[in-house]
Amino acid sequence: MGAWDGPGAGPGAVAPPIYQTSLFAKPSFEEFVRQQAAEHENFVYSRGTNPTVAFLEERLALLEGGEAAKCFASGMGAIGAVLAGLLRGGDHVLFVNTIYGPTTELAAHLERFGIRHTVLTEPTADIEAHIRDDTALIYLESPGTMLMKVLDVPALTTVARRHGIRTVMDNTWSTPLFQKPLAAGVDLVVHSLTKYVGGHSDVLGGAVIGSRDTLREVFYQGHQLFGAVMSAMEASLVLRGLRTLPVRMEEHQRNALRVIDHLRAQPEVVAVHHPYADHDPAEELITAQFSGFSGLLSFELRDGTFARVARFVDALELFRIGPSWGGYESLVTSPLRPTDDPASALVRISVGLEDVRSQIADLDRGFARLADRTGEPADG
Ligand SMILES: *Cc1c(COP(=O)(O)O)cnc(C)c1O
């Protein structure tokens, strides 16, 4: 990722120094006033810019192929800065695909400030009929949350551009390595760095990447004023994650494809959701957009009752039960709640970096528990 070339490069530190300081004193009042007038490009106060954080921002911009990036305290900090920072009362946002839950919860909250929204949960490029005179932003997530459906991003951005509407895409699933939304015509990319980029389940972070001009708007309207700032300490943890991102992603991918092949052979599994499982990997929709696949996927268990999902999940020993994903450890969760009664039940797993044979053996423990019906109420 290139050696530290920021302030203090002299002694040759190979790891980026952590600038644990809230402010930066200037040699003269005149210089202070000059730098404060352009706080997005000067180190004045760490709620604005900080050298360690700026080093990470430069790397993320390079990886996504954008001119500039801004980091945030969390993915939601980044998404909130885009929605609240760039929109105004009277604007409408069109969400396409199944979207990360808190993002649409935030959109629902913004209704009270007069910002309206529509969610098209089915992946479609046919959005023309849903674009309104007041549509100011089209927000994409691909693959989508939970069901992992893939959007035709270039087709969507072509429509958006024809209408002069900005597009934002959540690229957390792919990381900046496996998918390049800016090259597909997206204006702004958002990330939760908490997942694969941080990669060790020990840091929260978010980022927005795009053109210099749009990032300036995001900086002054969405970052400075709302204050969801990434600290230098967190930035150094994300930078450490970035160094191993390519090798980790290759391994997550290798493990995930093995797990998917195994899941598809299970009589208890009626569907597996992941771009590699839902599509022929040679299909142009996939080859044109992805240079690799991450390890977050979901599958549907036959006869989806809460009791059966709990039985399966509780039998697992290696897969830990919890939210989030993208770290070393394999994780499992389900959106199913006790009062739901679907025909099949969705289980989401984050395929980790443990030996994949142990992961598969663990999932088999769950399937064996489902097959063993002792202690279950009798049918009928
Ligand atoms: C986790 C996540 C976010 C939010 O990120 P935080 O760092 O938890 O705030 C946004 N989008 C997707 C797809 C996520 O998985």
CATH number of the domain where residue 322 is located: 3.90.1150.10
- Which pLDDT belongs to residue 380? 40
170 is catalytic: yes
Q: What is the residue range of 223's domain?
A: 29-241
Atom of ligand 1 nearest to the CA of 205: 7
* pTM metric for this prediction: 0.96
276 is catalytic: no
Among residues 116, 195, 308, 369, the one annotated as catalytic is 195
264 is catalytic: no
> Do 355 and 294 have their domain in common?
yes
Which of 215, 241, 267 is the last residue before a domain boundary?
241
Asked whether residue 40 is assigned to any structural domain, the reply reads yes
pLDDT digits (tens, 9 = 90+) for 128-154: 999 999 999 999 999 999 999 999 999
- Residue 23 gets which letter from DSSP? B
CB 92 within 8 A of CB 134: yes
Mean pLDDT confidence for 173-180: 98
CB 208 within 8 A of CB 72: yes
Asked whether residue 329 is assigned to any structural domain, the reply reads yes
Among residues 26, 45, 47, 216, the one annotated as catalytic is 47
Asked whether residue 9 is assigned to any structural domain, the reply reads no
CB 70 within 8 A of CB 205: no
> Do 54 and 168 have their domain in common?
yes
> Do 165 and 309 have their domain in common?
no
Q: Measured in angstroms, how far is the CA atom of residue 56 from the centroid of ligand 1?
A: 18
* pLDDT tier, 125 (very low <50, low <70, confident <90, very high otherwise): confident
Find how far residue 114's CA is from the centre of its chain: 27
pLDDT digits (tens, 9 = 90+) for 195-210: 999 999 999 999 999 9
Q: Measured in angstroms, how far is the CA atom of residue 192 from the centroid of ligand 1?
A: 5
How many independent structural domains does the chain possess?
2
Q: Measured in angstroms, how far is the CA atom of residue 293 from the centroid of ligand 1?
A: 18
